[in-house]
Chains A and B, each alone.
Chain A
Amino acid sequence: DTAVSQTPKYLVTQMGNDKSIKCEQNLGHDTMYWYKQDSKKFLKIMFSYNNKELIINETVPNRFSPKSPDKAHLNLHINSLELGDSAVYFCASSQGLLGGPQETQYFGPGTRLLVL
């Protein structure tokens, strides 16, 4: 019973395509996140939702659009994929944002995206 799951695990696609990555958490958490980890292994936050409300929206191209249909799901849609989008994308969730243990983030296994 995986706590945070992502699909697909691997995604190989051509430049210019549109793709989606799905994330689900069964922890009952209120907050979910999307991160990008590039080839230099630097983990950078992209978006965060708290109770389905967008609370973090870092400087990310508007080709990236998160969608949270409910608290347990946060999907990432990417339009017009570019070579530089190749990376590992991690979804995470935390109980809340009130500090301390509430902010402990649980990560999904990652989606390895390769744009050719």
Chain B
Amino acid sequence: RKEVEQDPGPFNVPEGATVAFNCTYSNSASQSFFWYRQDCRKEPKLLMSVYSSGNEDGRFTAQLNRASQYISLLIRDSKLSDSATYLCVVTRHTGGFKTIFGAGTRLFVKA
């Protein structure tokens, strides 16, 4: 079982839709959580960090559930430009520093 798992998708949604991605992690010692976005043939870029209290940045909301060991990303009012792969990232320091990327969830937003 992979340490970080995501639904690979693809998710095909119309413009204006709300879409949610989930990511689960298996190591309870995980400490920091992030969502990155990767456009086709480009490098990954930070979308947002994920905090225990949940955080929002415009149309994007990230949540962390430590008890169930998952993080989520909600995108409201999807735009065509949101089409990309969304990568869940988990880091931990116990037993040595480790950073693990999920395999990514592909999103296609269509007009």
Q: Do A and B come from one complex?
A: yes
A residues neighboring B (CB under 8 Å): 33, 35, 40-45, 48, 50, 55-56, 90, 97, 99-101, 103-110
Set B31, B93, B97: member contacting A48, Cβ < 8 A: B97
Known contacts A48-B99, A56-B98; is-contact A41 B44 (Cβ 8 Å): no
List residues of B (51-94) whose CB comes within 8 Å of A's CBs: 85, 87, 89, 91, 93
B contact residues, range: 20 to 34
Sorted nearest first, the 4 A-B pairs with minimum C-beta distance are A107-B43, A43-B101, A99-B32, A104-B46
| Residue contact B49 to A101, C-beta cutoff 8 Å | yes
Residues on A with C-beta less than 8 A from B100 are 45
Given contacts A55-B97, A105-B89, A110-B43, 16 further A-B contacts (CB under 8 A): A33-B99, A42-B104, A43-B44, A43-B87, A43-B104, A44-B101, A45-B99, A56-B96, A99-B31, A100-B32, A101-B49, A104-B34, A105-B36, A105-B46, A105-B99, A107-B43
Distance in angstroms between the alpha carbons of A103 and B30 in the assembled complex: 13
For the complex formed, measure the closest distance between the CB of A25 and the CB atoms of chain B, giving whole angstroms: 13
Contact A42 B103 (CB under 8 A): yes
User: A103 contacts B32, CB within 8 Å?
Assistant: yes
In this complex, what residue of B is CB-closest to A50?
B97
Q: Are B32 and A45 in contact (CB under 8 A)?
A: no
Please give the distance in Å from A20's CB to the nearest CB on chain B: 20
